[in-house]
Structure 1
Amino acid sequence: MQTMKDFPLVSIVMCSYNGAKYIDEQMDSLVNQTYQNLEIIVVDDKSTDHTIAKIEEWMKKDSRISLYKNEENLGYNRNFEKAISLAKGAYISLSDQDDIWCENKIEHLLSLFDQEDVVLVHARSVEFVDGKCLYPKVKLLRMFHGNDPKKLFYDNQIGGHRIMFKHKLVDRIIPIPPNMFYDWWIGVVATCNGSINSSESFLVKYRIHDANSHINVPKAVKAAHIDHIEAWKCFLTIEEMKQDDKLFLKNLITVFDEHRKKKKLFDHKLFSFLFKNRKIVFANRRRLVKDFLFLKFLFYYTIVKF
């Protein structure tokens, strides 16, 4: 008869910060996964509410949970970096503090490692607002799979709350560059060290609420949160990236850097580059950049994002 020890250990890594309002629902969804050989690592980034007390209550009920308390606030990148480094499992799955996981999330993601070269897998999530799931536009986006990092440079399709990756990626992921979204970095690094597989299944309710930075923040402010050109330069440091992919990335950096310096509403060189490479830069769009749709994307990605 098989026991839990006959199955690989999966590390669920959660970073918490002032998440007391919703963390119980998320913890409940984690401990009740159909796949049970888990360690649940919570790294708290110096919360000032009752988050730590709630986690300590969960620790009394489930020995698989461990809590680490930061002495200073590290921010989400460094906090996830620390949490990932603590994971002992053969597979690592990242968790937000306020989402709700489907009970078969871990089991389903593990099944996607069906080829030796697959190092990261991901599935869909649905926005969850006031107890309701919002599905309308989500299926207009393709799920990324394969090992072409060029399709991730322009429009990240790898959400941290939806992924699982092999532990062998940890040494490639860490350190996470400071001017980078941690999940974007992990996704691109994965394509340079293997392949990504995906599922159309919805496995996470991604909670949107007043305290969540995803809501109530203008798009222009979100865009300014990270300098994409500086982030792209970080990708150039990935030793395993193929030279052809680095050449594309260098051209991407050049054309956007020149566009930024020109400060023009319309840049013919930028337009030509994006149009020529539209099936790469807009690879996650099911309706591939035709007619006014391309102009819409061009306006957003050049005016709002850059």
Structure 2
Amino acid sequence: MENALVSILIPTYNSALFIKDAVQSIREQTYTNWEIIIVDDASTDQTLDILKSIAAIDTRVQWTQLAQNSGTGVARNTALKQAKGRYIAFLDADDLWKPEKLQTQLDFMKSHAVPFTFSSYDCMNEKGKLLNVRVVPPQNLSYRQLFFCNYVGNLTGIYDSHFFGKVSILPNRKRQDWMHWLTILKKIKSAKAVPESLAIYRIRQNSISASKLDLVKHNFGVYKQFHGLSWISALACMSVFLCTQLFIKPFYIKKVAKVN
């Protein structure tokens, strides 16, 4: 594990407002043996110009563009095929990592002998203002817990490809991050979270998490299509999911006086 290469997969689509800051948060990591693989999903804004300028000053940054808009799942899988690192990590184009993120997680994985981990993360608004809100996942996360609620922030997850292989992402446009972590956790049954907050998630008005109705619809699709459940079983799972969202998950969202 010593100084192992980390492949960081970033999908972009019309991300000109945010992508430079996202990449810069990786370039400021205290752990420096990484590669960034950016796959642009046929952007129509200035994203490509920005990617070209970034790649020109840092050879660890690679980018390519899809011929047509195909969704983040396809973009991430395209990046995954190009990845050379032992460790696979994810960052969306509008989110940020804290400088110690990679080093802290890799040290945690080594000391706890775990092939997959994730962490707490803070929240900011669309303009980048910190909201003093921290999402703190369960310290020990079981597959059953994840089945009823996605506690893994996609911007925090890292897995060891020597243990899992390269885990393909389903090409769904919605909820494919949750299905990805379910696929991984099913193999090990439980996982440990790094207790520190290591990333910052940007809450945007057009994100799926901003629409509770869409969230319910797409999560039902996970139970019905990904898990292959009957309508009755999927509805039963959705009732547990909704109860979890209303009565359990709020306990994992903390107000913090000052974000570090």
Q: TM-score, normalised by structure 1?
A: 0.70
Residues 222, 191 of structure 1: CA spacing in aligned structure 2 closer, same or farther, 3 A cutoff?
Answer: closer
Contact persistence 1:125–1:162 (CA under 8 A): yes
Secondary structure class of the residue paired with 1:59 = helix
Cα distance in 1 for residues equivalent to 2:226 and 2:139: 18
Greater radius of gyration (CA): 1
Residues 101-126 of structure 1 show CA distances to partners (whole Å, capped at 9, x for unaligned) of: 1111111111221344x221111111
1:110 aligns with 2:106: yes
Question: Could you tell me which amino acid in structure 1 is paired with residue 180 of structure 2?
Answer: I
The amino acid of 2:28's aligned partner reads N
Q: Which of 134, 139, 143 is equivalent to 1:149?
A: 143
Letter in 2 for 1:221: D
Partner of residue 67 from structure 1, selected from 63, 68, 89: 63
Map Cα deviations across residues 272-301 of structure 1 (whole Å, 9 max, x no partner). xx5xxx89x9765649xxxxxxxxxxxxxx
Quick one: which amino acid aligns to residue 73 of structure 2?
N
Map 1:32-71; keep pairs closer than 5 Å. 32-71=28-67
Structure 1 counterpart SS, 2:59? coil
**1:76 is matched with which residue?**
72
Q: Match of 1:232, SS?
A: helix
Q: Give the gaps of 5 or more residues in structure 2.
A: 253-260
**DSSP 3-state at the match of 1:78:** helix
Amino acid at match of 1:76: T
For 2:216, the equivalent position in structure 1 comes to: 223
Secondary structure of the structure 1 residue equivalent to 2:140? coil
Structure 2 residue aligned with 1:188, among 182, 188, 191?
A: 182
Query: After the TM superposition, which of the residue ranges 188-197 and 120-129 deviates more from structure 2?
Result: 188-197
| Number of positions where the alignment pairs a residue of Structure 1 with one of Structure 2 | 247
Give 3-state SS (helix, strand or coil) of 1:97's partner: coil
CA distance 1:179–1:89, change in 2 (3 Å):
same
In structure 2, relative to structure 1, the CA distance for the partners of 1:6 and 1:218 (3 Å cut) is closer
Q: What is the distance in 2 between the residues matched to 1:125 and 1:26? A: 15
1:132 to 120, 129, 135: 129
Shift of 1:189: 1.6
Offset of residue 71 of structure 1: 0.7
Q: Which moved more, 1:57-66 or 1:124-133?
A: 124-133
1:10-33 residue CA offsets vs partner (Å, 9 max, x unmatched): 011111111111111111111121
Query: In the aligned structure 2, how far is the partner of 1:106 from the partner of 1:259?
Result: 35
Deviations 1:45-86 (A, max 9, x none): 011111111111111111111111111111112212222222
Match of 2:85 in 1: 89
Query: 1:15 aligns to what?
Result: 11
Classify the secondary structure of the residue corresponding to 2:117: strand
1:145 maps to a residue whose letter is N
Equivalent pairs: percent with the same residue? 25
Matched, 1:254 2:232: yes
Give the match's secondary structure for 1:14: strand
* Residues 1:45 and 1:97: Cα distance change in structure 2 (over 3 Å): same
- Structure with the larger RCO, 1 or 2 (CA within 8 Å, 6+ apart): 2
Task: State the Cα RMSD in Å.
Answer: 3.2
Q: After TM superposition, list the pairs within 5 Å mapping 1:153-168 onto structure 2.
A: 153-168=147-162
Rounded Cα–Cα distance in structure 2 between residues aligned with 1:39 and 1:68: 14
Q: TM-score, length-normalised on structure 2?
A: 0.81
Counterpart CA distance in 2 for 1:106 and 1:115 is: 15
CA distance in 1: counterparts of 2:51 and 2:26, whole angstroms: 12
Q: What residue identity is the alignment partner of 1:10? A: V
3-state secondary structure, aligned to 2:4? coil
Match of 2:223 among 232, 239, 243: 232
